[in-house]
Amino acid sequence: MLVLAIDTATPAVTAGLVEVTGDAVLLRAARVEHDARKHAELLMPAVRAVCADAGTALRDVDAVVVGTGPGPFTGLRVGMVTAAALGDALGVPVHGVCSLDAIAAEAEGDGPLLVVTDARRREVYWAAYDTADTADGTARRRVDGPHVQAPADLAARAAELGLSAAAGSAGLVGLPVRPPESPSPAGLVAVAASALRAGAAPGPLEPLYLRRPDAAEPGARKRVST
């Protein structure tokens, strides 16, 4: 099964083609570019580039996996709308996965893990993980989050939870950084691999914004007296 994986939940614009076999997730091609202001401009060229690198056509994709955040509104919706449009055009299922889960899936080392990404506005997105035995082998299991919080508050909570290592933007909370710092195509697909192999129907795509929108419905018009 050939899967297109994309993510725009972080400053990284990620696209890749991943082959899912009965017992493995194999990266065929990947493009990752870092520019927090050009998700829309960079994503589809990256999709076309990975198809060229893999020597395959976009119509040969069997499924799409997209990171659903958490992430800032503008960047995150670029990837999710693109994934939904491609899935509709190609007639293939689109699976949404938490972008922090994709980072955790490829984090180095064992033991408790804290995945942290920059949420801007002097805040971070985070989720905590431990290891668990699954049908596919040992994997990371999310035990808390995702949340959005000030780095100082998270640093105190990490000490309470006994988390000694972290990934992503962990330096913002004073913890050591483990790669990867953004979701990779293989990490995204690894999170959805069981559902893909089972041919399970994906659930609705729901973005993890974790914040209320800045825009608000206008109130009642002020009465103008004559």
**Residue spans per domain, the chain:** 2-198
Q: What is the pLDDT of residue 80?
A: 97
State the alpha helices, DSSP H only, in 60-148: 73-90, 99-105
**CATH of region 2-198, choose from 3.40.50.2300, 3.40.190.170, 3.90.1420.10, 3.30.420.40:** 3.30.420.40
Check: CB of residue 145 under 8 Å from CB of residue 89.
no
Q: What is the pLDDT of residue 222?
A: 63
Q: What is the pLDDT of residue 4?
A: 98
Q: What is the pLDDT of residue 109?
A: 76
| Residue 178 host element (H or E) | strand 177-178
27 Rama sector, left if φ>0, alpha if ψ -120 to 50, beta otherwise: beta
Tens-digit pLDDT string for the chain (226 aa): 999 999 999 999 999 999 999 999 999 999 999 988 899 999 999 999 999 999 999 999 999 999 999 999 989 999 999 999 999 999 999 999 999 999 999 988 778 899 999 998 889 999 999 987 655 556 789 999 999 999 998 988 887 777 777 777 888 888 888 889 899 999 999 999 999 999 999 999 999 999 765 444 555 666 666 5
**CA 17 to CA 31: how far, in whole Å?**
9
- pTM for the model: 0.90
SS3 at position 32: strand
Q: What is the pLDDT of residue 204?
A: 94
From the number of C-beta atoms within 10 Å of its C-beta (0-12, 13-18, 19+), residue 168 rates as buried
Q: What is the pLDDT of residue 78?
A: 96
Q: What is the pLDDT of residue 216?
A: 47
